[in-house]
Amino acid sequence: MARIAVIGGTGYAGGHIVKEAADRSHTVVSVARKVPAQRVPGVTYVEGSLLDIPGLLAELQGVDAIILAVAPRGDMAGKVRPAVAELVAELPQGVRLGVIGGAGGSLVAEGGPRLVDAGQFPEDFKPEALEAIGVLDDLLEAPESVDWFFVHPAAGFGGFAPGERTGHYRTGGDILVSDEQGESYISGEDFAIAMIDEIETPKHRRARFTVGY
């Protein structure tokens, strides 16, 4: 079993990942700016911030993987990209880094365009999507010694459409995963399954991939 840290472990994506990892008997550390009142049994909860990389890494000594589930929105807008760059620069040897991006950087079809550039993408969410794409760009330029993966969820992913656990998902490389009706969605629980599957059986080293039904 792995020792997994989830930064942003009390948010929508992070919370589901924490529970999935704990249910599979991994050792889990959930990091957030506030410790929640309701906790998953067996999970260690610590206060920490992506904006304090030295303090964060001090709390996470001995982990095998770090999953970053912090969106560049609200008071984190414009701060996530430089913080991730600092984390990558200081990441201990052998620690795998998984980053959850948004759907905006996914390609709508082979060869593009990206979803954020394809029209009908909400203007209010474009800054967030573009910053997440910037994080991916930086990871692609990271030294070969850095083991990372970057995940684009389906377009319909979030607390606004929680869905149910099915135990199934599909990956689509660079392309947004959609069903036969053209709908792109995935539940929080099934997205978490995909994330922990990637930790347990790595298939996307130094690469991005999309997840949906």
pLDDT at 202: 98
CATH number, domain with residue 13: 3.40.50.720
pLDDT at 112: 85
CA distance linking residue 52 with residue 49, whole number of Å: 5
At a CB cut-off of 8 Å and minimum separation 6, what does 180 contact? Answer: none
The structure tokens listed for 133 are 């794409």
In a structure prediction context, what are the per-residue pLDDT tens digits for the chain, which is 213 residues long? 999 999 999 999 999 999 999 999 999 999 999 999 899 999 999 999 999 999 999 999 999 999 999 999 999 999 999 999 999 999 999 999 999 999 999 999 999 899 999 988 999 999 999 999 999 999 999 999 999 999 999 999 999 989 999 999 999 999 999 999 999 999 999 999 999 999 999 999 999 999 999
Phi, psi (degrees; rounded to nearest 5) at 195: -65, -45
Length of the chain: 213
The count of structural domains within the chain is: 1
Q: Are 32 and 47 in contact (CB under 8 A)?
A: yes
pTM: 0.96
Sign of CA dihedral 24, 29, 141, 184: positive
pLDDT at 197: 98
The structure tokens listed for 79 are 């701060």
Domain span at 207: 3-212
CA distance linking residue 213 with residue 210, whole number of Å: 10
